[in-house]
Amino acid sequence: MSNTSKTALVTGATRGIGFETVRQLAQAGVHTLLAGRDRAKAVEAALKLQAEGLPVEAIVLDVTDAASIVAAADEVAKKFGRLDILVNNAGIMRDEMGKKVSEQTQQAWRDTFDTNVFGLIETTQAFLPLLHKSPSARIVNVSSLLGSLAQHSDPSSPIYDFKVPAYNVSKSAVNAWTVQLAYELKDSKIKVNTIHPGYVKTDMNAGGGEIDVPDGARTSVAMALIDDAGPNGSYRYLDNVIPW
């Protein structure tokens, strides 16, 4: 199946890694839907990429709003009849830096899980029927190295002392969901994987990352474009497999 015949949707795509993921998928020839909560911002972002000659269009999708998710799935069904790639990129961090693990508020936990976990699952469930209509569909769940229990348990790990609990645990949950869904889909034409984008300079970390946004999108794009011999149920950063 050629890239030019594929349709992709990227959530949380009006800026940062999501926006760059849309750009790189479109540069590969994929007709890509740039999804955002705010219609005006989504349209503005899509127009920037259209001005580069890329096959991009905006779509409204708020992963914390069930009606918005259903409406987006209905729109894709009517326009395209199927979906070939779903990149679950939307995510937030609500932890208060400097507070201990046990001191983070319940609201921070709930807000984080509503977007990073429940929103991701509900979005995937809504688009799964359309993904099943594709001859070779891919789901990419954007996680983080901070979701690795193995790394958090290892005193020699670079993230051992970086405990941002609500965010970290939400990404561990994304990883666990990926494993469960990969099992369900193991005999289908859909492959689902979770990725670490790298420590990227984004608004979420106030530009404090180590790599630029274009490099941060590379793993999502690579996993979105894997062939039928590619992995299912893996956790990766570029060519490296990350321990759960």
User: What is the rounded distance in angstroms from the CA atom of residue 140 to the CA atom of residue 120?
Assistant: 11
Helix 165-184 and helix 120-132: axis angle, to 10°? Answer: 20
Q: Is 183 a catalytic residue?
A: no
Contact 168, 152 (CB under 8 A): yes
Q: 160, 167, 183, 237: which one is catalytic?
A: 167
Per DSSP, which regions of the chain are E strands? 7-10, 31-36, 56-60, 85-88, 137-142, 190-195, 235-237, 240-241
Give 33: exposed, middle or buried? Use CB within 10 Å, 0-12, 13-18, 19+. buried
Residues 6+ apart with CB under 8 A from 8: 22, 25, 30, 31, 32, 33, 83, 84, 85, 86, 87, 224
Q: Are strands 240-241 and 235-237 parallel, antiparallel or unpaired?
A: antiparallel
Question: Which two tokens mark 55?
Answer: 């096959």
Query: Which DSSP string do the residues of 205-242 spell out, in sequence order?
Result: GTT--SB-HHHHHHHHHHHHT--TTS-SS-EEETTEEP
Question: Which two tokens mark 58?
Answer: 């905006």
Which residues belong to the active site? 167
